[in-house]
Structure 1
Amino acid sequence: MNRIRENRELLVFASSTALLALGGLAWLTSRGTLASTLWVIGAALGLVFSAATTIGAIARRQPSVDIIAVLALGGALAVGEPFAGAMITVMLASGQLLEARAASRARRELSLLVERAPRTARRRVDGAVIEVPVDDVVVGDQLLVGTGQVVPVDGRLLSPATLDESALTGEPLPVERRASEHVRSGVVNSGPPLDLVATAVAADSTYAGVVRLVEQAQASSAPFVRAADRFAILFVPFTLLLAGAAWAIAGDPVRAVAVLVVATPCPLLLAAPIAIMSGLSRAASIGVVIKGGGALERLAGGRVVLFDKTGTLTQGHPVLAGVVTARESLDADEVLRLAASLDQVSAHVLASAIVTGGTDRGLTLQMPTDVEEVHGYGLAGTVGAHRVKLGKASWIVGDDPPAWVRQVRRRADLDGSLTVFVAVDDEPAGAFLLEDAIRPDAPRMVRALRQAGITRVVLLTGDRADIAEIVGRVVGVDTVLADCDPADKLAAIGRESESGPTIMVGDGINDAPALAAAGVGVALASRGATASSEAADVVLTVDRIDALADAILMARRSKSIALQSVLIGMGLSLVAMVVAAVGLLPPAAGAVVQEVIDVLAIGVALRAVLPGRVHSVQMDPADVATALRLRAEHQAVLPVVEQIRSVADALTTIDGDVAPAQALLVRLENEVLPHERADEDLLLPLVDRALKGSDATAALSRTHAEIEHQVSRLHRLLAGLDDQNVQPEDVVELRRLLYGLYAVLRLHNAQEDEGAFSLIPSQRATASTRGLSR
């Protein structure tokens, strides 16, 4: 229906514009009769068109200013002013076309959800597997779900499984489920084939509920209402009374027609949409697609922002957070190089994180040979002269794990990370910690939102509470709501709506109901179109969430300019109406005056095209190049930071071996300190230029000084030690100093990611590197 309506409005606009233009051409060539005929046809078209929309509005019991257009067009034809009537038709048609396009809101997200839902299920019957329609599945059926397939109905696992539950929880990391655990429909089997027993039919399963939530939320969304209609209750009666009074007092219907001609609310129908459309265009130029004027107005009025955690405040995919080595013969870089080389041929999401971690460190990877996948355990292959295995701890280290494995698991549990273990030449070599890292631009974006007028920021997530609280503290939200499913998010929006108009930001299918129910739904679609982007009112096509604050500022400016254009245009129209009512402005002159008013109102509206205040940071190309070079150096020294913790962990008062610490000191003095000095001399000044004199670099400069101080202390301590005179208290002091230096560098890396490197235009959405120092 929306498409049919839009095509109809486009046809009327094109026809009326053509008739007006052809009539003008005929008039210029002294063909007055032909010009009048064409304009009469145009006015008659407008009369039919506006009469139809007026009748429709009356049927819907919706106030409308279209009645003024009907009377003005009819009056213009009656008193022989076809040009004025044709011009009014063009104005009306253009306003209706803009309204139709702004009001047409895509509903394809429902079809996307339905398309993703499985149509069939694989049922085990008498030792065989048969494919049946998913609606034929009954409770108690035993089903087989292959690798990469969507679980068709809710069920209970008969075998262990590795599941991608992001469609429901939004969490990107695969989840290990044991036999007998409950599994929900809509999740993807990312491991070997699994068996389950159906515990619900398709219509009663989780995924069907998500589809229904979207449908219900969309149905509850209010339709877009034209700005003109908001003034109809007062403007229409006033216009009719003034026109009627002019006719009654003077006894001349021409005066009434003149009042109606200048009363045609073109500033409402055209100038205001121009300001709104200019705002839409400005927002699109920074990668923010706002779906219509109604969405822009609601975005401008937003006061409460709710964020889904994954993919909005965090990266949305696993990132290498740390490398733990099991033996001294292989350092962290070599362990990572071998593992990343093997994982190049794996399509697993965790493999991508390990490969990216290796390439980020500048490691040279080799193509593996003799690769085999052991279902349920991991991957094995040959890299150069080494046999490499990657996978679960039980496969790599056996059932009786050594102490370093327990330490890895403890770290993973504290940080909410996943672990992948590696063996080289059949000997355990280490483990990788993978996590969904916080986006470096997230804290800056939250601060920018508050500066843009947002009064409350809420974090929603399906993740566990302790991990969500960490993200919330780092980013700076007001409230954290954890363990949320789609229904919980929908309920949270209802509660938060009591505090003010809501804006919901998300990027997963599980966010679609909340996006549709919120005052404004904002989706991140830079990684590909999803149901969330279809359900949303606003879509960020760039992987840069700080653009949302700029979009809010642009929306508020556009709405303000639209209001100004309406007040100026309608104010002048009211003056012209009074002048016409007293007989000083005949219809022909009134049409010209109305056009002048329209042009003036449009001129005011066009100010929205001009740039306004935004939070985006502009950097000189030379500064960008310098920042990129320093960021590459920043990446290169991260393994040294990681080595600090490894050396400290290995220190013992039994043998007093400080040789690893002395080797570390050489790398700190030759690699880390030169980089930090370059940051002080080059990075901080360019950040000051980008932020226009902000004192944001003061903290960075202070930590540079602290790093220099701690390395100097380490140098002095080690200068007085050798293997012969090391005392237990010396080892304790050395370990304390190393852990302190590690903590300072870890904090400093986070500060540089957020305060400096996130400013680089091409780097604002890159994976946070601070996790690699953990």
Structure 2
Amino acid sequence: MRREQGLFAGTAVLTVAGMVAIWVRGPAGSAGTAADRLGGVEIAGGAAQWLWIAAALLGLGWSTVTLGAAVRRREPSVDVIAWLALVGALWVGEPFAGAVIAVMLAGGALLEGRAQARARRELGLLAERMPRIARRDSAAGPVVVAVEEVAVGDRLVVGAGEVVPVDGRLSGPAVLDESALTGEPMPVERRAGEEVRSGVVNAGAAMRLTAIATARDSTYAGVVRLVEQARAGSASFVRMADRWAVAFVPLTLLLAGAAWAVSGDPVRAVAVLVVATPCPLLLAAPIAIMSGISRAARSGVVVKGGGALERLAAGQVLLIDKTGTLTEGRPRLVDVVVAPGGALAADEVLRLAASVEQSSAHVLAGAIVSAAHGRGLRPGAADEVRERHGYGIEGLVGGRRVRLGRTAAPTDDELLTVAVTVDGAPAGVLRLEDPLRPQGPRMIRALRRAGIRRVVLVTGDQGDGAAAVGRIVGADEVFAGCDPAGKLALVRAEQHRPRDQRPGQQQPPGRERRKRTIMVGDGVNDAPALAAADVGVALAARGMTASAQAADVVLTVDRIDVLADAILIARRSRGVAVAAVATGMGLAVVAMLAAAAGLLPPVAGALVQEGIDLGAIAMAMAALIPGRVRTVTLRPEDVATARRLFDEHREMRPLVERVRSVADALGEPPRLEPVRRLVTDLDRLLAHERAEEAELLPIMARALGGTEVTSGLSRTHAEIEFQVGRLNRIVNDGKAPDVIDVRRLLYGLYAILRLHNAQEEEGAFSLVPGGGS
């Protein structure tokens, strides 16, 4: 970087000093006009001429070194035009033109050097933020250890203002600053049982967590490795621009030779060389591509080089995995079913289960602990906890032996079930599901608007679950039961599939044309398909797996809708690069023709070429200006309101599931007391729905453009109010109700509430950073 600065400073100072020398000498009576003096002809032997010659020689030396390096690498280089222009300017006695060319070359080298230095500086800042120590909780208090010594299952303490050292699961609520990973500046509240990632800052009181990954496998270390890989490399368009520029060399030499031969004046040939230096190609395209990579990174999308950015811009077919990609990849408790004749209530079964699971790093443990805290339960301390991989976990809670283990695979492959026994007797079953990401349908719609023509859902799951998810998000085709080899085969088939043909069908002769494919996944089994696709996109917000290493693009935020923004950014960057290069080279060709005709002398040509370069670079830097993206921006006060309502929304989930449980437990004659208690508790739900109607829907209307987008939610609010009121009248009017009517009302209300909650999470809460899950 210092060499580039020295070269630019030296050439610029020498050039300006020569100009000052002319104007100082001018009033002393030197002969000739100002134009003559600037041309360096009338002041031969003067100080200005030698200053400009020195500047040109500096540029010639730099150009010679870069040409030599290109020859050693056996790479073509367009620096030969600049080298010839410098030699020619000195040969025909145009030192000022040579000095301007030298300044132009030095400026380009400085710009490139600054971009590389900035990348190294940002990487250095990331590396400096990496946690070095952790505080392990012990009976004697926190013990400071090196972060490399932290093992999975260790209990850690993170003080206020400290960086979380490894990925972990919270033992209690916490307030976190996640801006280092997500770019979201506002602190985020996390509940007990939720996972936190290394690199985030504790913005509240001291908190405790259980490590679920080592330092090497944690999120922040993986992000630093990704940034190292993502230094802006040579994009395919940049390489194509280099080829154009190299092809431009013989054209330039031919035109310069023709101008000399026709006019007999070598100065015309030098003028053509001066204006032919293809800096718009050499600088504009890389600047636009690097700007696009920078813009994508601000959205939480790490693009591994300019080539990946360009392929992302050209994507036509999207193949997307289901589990962990379109679904959240984190189980959520949906119900607690108590054992027939069991002595424990559902909440007590859940509390005992959470008491044992809070010491586990298993993925299901977080869902169970989080659900218990969400219902206001306080898990107790567990002793003699033993966990056997594949078999379950057990421990003593208040003198009771509590054991949890997975049951046999259910017929509904969308549900996970965990059996709970207390003192050897069945106590209940916990039912969990992997819910669909609320942002999924909106992302698919945004991707289609961004230019994706076909969406294919691929998954290893069996059954109707994959087809249901495909219908919800709007996929064109769904392939279930795919192993890694099957996903790889689908990627290759889609790359050569005609627009009106499905994979596996015979292709008509002459119809095959390669499509640009984008594969999105998050698991190890997705890695082969990610590597085979034109662009592999991995979700790595919860850890760096083999998929992140195989991918070209990595999402470091736990939202898939940012992919649509990344594609829009990539396409805009490529468009800006094309426009800048086409404009710059077009003007350069016009200037070359003018120089060949004798209308543009070398000095004026050098100044014109400098202006063309600056214009092309300015156009390329427009890629840094925010363009059209999908992300909806909410006002800070709206974000705070939406988050408060979303917290209430999550608190209502157990009550919604209770509606179905009460309906299931109705007997003949019906047991109305549980129904009456439910109706009383549903008053809280109605109050919440009214608050959403008054506060949330206006926020949604402002963000998405009008009340039409909220009319459906408003209609279901009214229907929920009506159904609850009807249920209240039936069970409290003093008459013996018909059990069929009560059960029908309960099941109908449950269906409406589930559908309504899904619509709210997709349409409203998914707009909020950290919401909708």
Whether TM exceeds 0.5 here: the answer is: yes
Secondary structure in 2 matching 1:543? coil
For 1:539, which of 536, 539, 554 is the aligned residue? 554
| One-letter amino acid matched to 2:356 | L
1:83 aligns with 2:99: yes
Distance 1:560 1:223, change over 3 A: closer
1:43 aligns with 2:60: yes
C-alpha contact (below 8 Å) 1:94/1:270 kept by paired residues: no
Report the counterpart of residue 744 of structure 1 in structure 2.
752
For 2:11, which of 20, 26, 38 is the aligned residue? 20
Distance in 2, Cα, partners of 1:283 & 1:222:
15
| One-letter amino acid matched to 2:587 | L
Report the counterpart of residue 554 of structure 1 in structure 2.
569
Distance 1:98 1:565, change over 3 A: farther
Report the counterpart of residue 121 of structure 1 in structure 2.
none
| One-letter amino acid matched to 1:343 | E
Report the counterpart of residue 493 of structure 1 in structure 2.
491
Distance 1:582 1:341, change over 3 A: same
Report the counterpart of residue 68 of structure 1 in structure 2.
81
1:577 aligns with 2:584: no
Q: CA deviation at 1:735?
A: 1.0
Distance 1:537 1:619, change over 3 A: same
1:345 aligns with 2:359: yes
Q: CA deviation at 1:12?
A: 7.3
| One-letter amino acid matched to 1:342 | V
Report the counterpart of residue 702 of structure 2 in structure 1.
689
Report the counterpart of residue 643 of structure 1 in structure 2.
658
Distance in 2, Cα, partners of 1:601 & 1:224:
16
Matched length: 615
C-alpha contact (below 8 Å) 1:464/1:483 kept by paired residues: yes
Report the counterpart of residue 441 of structure 1 in structure 2.
439
Distance in 2, Cα, partners of 1:511 & 1:52:
41
Report the counterpart of residue 692 of structure 2 in structure 1.
679
Secondary structure in 2 matching 1:762? coil
Secondary structure in 1 matching 2:452? coil
**Identity in percent:** 57
Distance in 2, Cα, partners of 1:718 & 1:75:
100
Q: What are the ranges of 5 or more consecutive residues in structure 1 without an aligned counterpart?
A: 1-9, 105-146, 149-220, 394-408, 768-774
Q: How does 1:508-657 map to 2 (within 5 A)?
A: 508-653=523-668, 655-657=669-671
Distance in 2, Cα, partners of 1:227 & 1:235:
12
Distance 1:558 1:417, change over 3 A: same
Q: CA deviation at 1:452?
A: 1.1
Distance 1:342 1:281, change over 3 A: same
Report the counterpart of residue 147 of structure 2 in structure 1.
none
1:701 aligns with 2:714: yes
Distance 1:590 1:25, change over 3 A: closer
Secondary structure in 1 matching 2:396? strand
Q: CA deviation at 1:229?
A: 3.0
Q: CA deviation at 1:275?
A: 2.0
Q: CA deviation at 1:694?
A: 5.9
State the Cα deviation string for residues 301-343 of structure 1 (Å, max 9, x = none): 1111111222221122333232212257543333212211221
Distance 1:679 1:415, change over 3 A: farther
Distance in 2, Cα, partners of 1:52 & 1:461:
49
1:303 aligns with 2:320: no
C-alpha contact (below 8 Å) 1:43/1:77 kept by paired residues: no
C-alpha contact (below 8 Å) 2:245/2:281 kept by paired residues: no
Distance in 2, Cα, partners of 1:464 & 1:642:
26
State the Cα deviation string for residues 236-264 of structure 1 (Å, max 9, x = none): 44323321211111112221111111111
Give TM-score scaled by structure 2 length. Answer: 0.73
Distance in 1, Cα, partners of 2:5 & 2:304:
23
Q: How does 1:307-318 map to 2 (within 5 A)?
A: 307-318=320-331
Instruction: Judge which range, 355-364 or 657-666, deviates more.
Output: 355-364
Distance in 2, Cα, partners of 1:234 & 1:721:
93
1:733 aligns with 2:741: yes
Q: CA deviation at 1:686?
A: 0.9
Secondary structure in 2 matching 1:695? helix
Distance in 1, Cα, partners of 2:389 & 2:313:
52
Distance in 2, Cα, partners of 1:89 & 1:376:
65
Instruction: Judge which range, 437-446 or 65-74, deviates more.
Output: 65-74
Distance in 2, Cα, partners of 1:682 & 1:375:
47
Q: How does 1:654-669 map to 2 (within 5 A)?
A: 655-668=669-682
Report the counterpart of residue 192 of structure 2 in structure 1.
none
Q: CA deviation at 1:731?
A: 0.9
State the Cα deviation string for residues 656-678 of structure 1 (Å, max 9, x = none): 3222212211111x211111111
Distance in 2, Cα, partners of 1:613 & 1:222:
22
C-alpha contact (below 8 Å) 1:47/1:74 kept by paired residues: no
Distance 1:570 1:313, change over 3 A: same
Q: CA deviation at 1:699?
A: 1.6
Secondary structure in 1 matching 2:770? helix
C-alpha contact (below 8 Å) 2:488/2:532 kept by paired residues: yes
Q: CA deviation at 1:47?
A: 3.0
State the Cα deviation string for residues 582-628 of structure 1 (Å, max 9, x = none): 22222222111111111112222222222211110111111111111
| One-letter amino acid matched to 1:361 | R
Report the counterpart of residue 455 of structure 2 in structure 1.
457
Secondary structure in 1 matching 2:443? helix
Secondary structure in 2 matching 1:413? coil
Distance in 2, Cα, partners of 1:392 & 1:537:
36
For 1:319, which of 312, 324, 332 is the aligned residue? 332
Secondary structure in 1 matching 2:432? strand
| One-letter amino acid matched to 2:470 | G
Distance 1:580 1:320, change over 3 A: same
Secondary structure in 2 matching 1:382? strand
Report the counterpart of residue 287 of structure 1 in structure 2.
300
Report the counterpart of residue 141 of structure 1 in structure 2.
none
Distance 1:53 1:76, change over 3 A: farther
Q: CA deviation at 1:102?
A: 14
C-alpha contact (below 8 Å) 2:335/2:654 kept by paired residues: no
Distance in 2, Cα, partners of 1:741 & 1:529:
42
Report the counterpart of residue 7 of structure 1 in structure 2.
none
Q: What are the ranges of 5 or more consecutive residues in structure 2 without an aligned counterpart?
A: 22-46, 121-151, 154-233, 498-514
1:383 aligns with 2:397: yes
Distance in 2, Cα, partners of 1:417 & 1:494:
32
Distance 1:505 1:24, change over 3 A: farther
Distance 1:688 1:268, change over 3 A: same
Distance in 2, Cα, partners of 1:521 & 1:41:
45
Distance 1:470 1:293, change over 3 A: same
Q: CA deviation at 1:389?
A: 2.3
Distance in 1, Cα, partners of 2:2 & 2:332:
52
Distance in 2, Cα, partners of 1:376 & 1:576:
74
Distance in 2, Cα, partners of 1:44 & 1:564:
32
Q: CA deviation at 1:271?
A: 1.9
1:763 aligns with 2:771: yes
Report the counterpart of residue 182 of structure 1 in structure 2.
none
Report the counterpart of residue 206 of structure 1 in structure 2.
none
Distance in 2, Cα, partners of 1:640 & 1:553:
41
Distance in 1, Cα, partners of 2:467 & 2:765:
25
